[in-house]
Homo-oligomer: A and B are copies of this chain.
């Protein structure tokens, strides 16, 4: 089995990645890092460019993780791709990053995270960025 994590550059993606690394280590399972871009991916800040992908791979190698980085650009939403990949590899766990509530208390539930939580037929670990 595999731990699957949805990765986007930034603090929320980092928090998800750190949690996923720890879970993969505890479970002694490989890590599948899924990064989804929209068809105009060159202009999509959520999609890793080549330099970002290389730095991410270096970090994961340094951590000693068994990992794969998968970048998908096929016009499907991130949540849909993440759930589909989790099915494909029979993931034991999906890790997603969640936004925090705003200081005014407004609900900020990322629609992609919410879709993964609703649609995934597997346990989902939801983590937030540190304060």
Interface residues of chain A, those whose CB is within 8 Å of chain B, are: 19, 26-27, 98, 101, 107-109, 114, 117-119, 121, 123-128, 131
Contact = CB atoms under 8 A, between A and B. Distances in A.
Shortest Cβ-Cβ A-B pairs, 3 listed:
A123-B127, A26-B26, A124-B126
6 contacts: A98-B117, A98-B118, A109-B114, A117-B117, A121-B131, A123-B127
Query: Main SS of the interface on chain A?
Result: mixed
A117 to B, nearest CB: 6
Nearest to A128: B121
Contacts of A109: 114, 117-118
A26 B121 CA distance: 22
A107 B118 CA distance: 7
Contacts of A114: 109
A2 to B, nearest CB: 16
Contacts of A27: 26
